Amino acid sequence: MAPLTYLDFSKMIDHSLLQPNLTEKELENGCKLAVAYDVASVCIMPYYLQRCSDLLVGSTVQPSTTIGFPHGGHKTVIKVAEAEQALRDGGTELDMVVNISQVLSGNWDYVRQDIAEVIAVTHAAGKKVKVIFENCYLKDEHKIRLCEICGELKADWVKTSTGYGSSGATMADLTLMRQHSPAATQVKAAGGVRDFQTLLQVRQLGVTRCGASRTKDMLDECRKQLDLPAIEFKGSSGAGGY
């Protein structure tokens, strides 16, 4: 097996810019940091997605945003409208929150349809969907059923958390989600991956993406351990959540 490279780690990170108190300058700096460190994507507040998309032109970093965030209680028609707007604004990966209330109520037909409609409009545009469970509110039986539904609907990722619930990703949840998702459905951790050692740990569990605000610290440590030169970046990280 070939040794792991810097890109093996940087392309696991979705740089999170979702805190509501981030200024436009902080959002712009966050996008520039994401390009400098060559991460997988920037997950940004929906209103700034079009500008984010413009800032990422010429890079390999994907512009992404949230749908039904953070509580998942929007009506399905609103989630679909959000997805359509995000696609118009240049979004290539959409992180949607399930209807947590309906999951806990056991209304699985509603849950399936809610997820299916967002996936349908996004996949029709050739883009990708991450489905957020918000595991801190759920029992294992809910998480397993959601993994099964997302697999059947061909979701691109299942994701632990918004980063704004009572807790984020746990090793137990990541193991459970990988176990109960088909190989074609990837797993994303959000909330709690704050250092390079934890990034290594979740990678070993089969996680391919992590929502993170401590991107710079994690990847600086990664480069140090790989004996690579430091990346010079002047400006704030625009860190927001996770």
Structure tokens at 233: 């970046």
Residue 239, domain member (yes or no): no
Q: Is the pLDDT of residue 104 over 90?
A: yes
CATH code (residue 41): 3.20.20.70
Q: Are 213 and 242 in contact (CB under 8 A)?
A: yes
Residue 232, domain member (yes or no): no
- Model confidence pLDDT, tens digit, residues 21-36: 999 999 999 999 999 9
- Model confidence pLDDT, tens digit, residues 51-69: 999 999 999 999 999 999 9
Q: Collapsing DSSP states into helix, strand and coil, what is residue 17?
A: strand
Residue 17, domain member (yes or no): yes
Instruction: Say if pTM beats, i.e. exceeds, 0.85.
Output: yes
Q: How deeply is 174 buried, as exposed, middle or buried, from its count of CB atoms within 10 A (0-12, 13-18, 19+)?
A: buried
Residue 136, domain member (yes or no): yes
Residues found in the chain: 242
Residue 125, domain member (yes or no): yes
Q: How many structural domains are present in the chain?
A: 1
Residue 92, domain member (yes or no): yes
- Positions marked active-site: 95, 159, 188
Residue 144, domain member (yes or no): yes
Give the domain extent around 189: 8-225
Other Cβ atoms closer than 10 A to 166: 9
Q: Is the pLDDT of residue 240 over 60?
A: no
Q: Is the pLDDT of residue 182 over 80?
A: yes
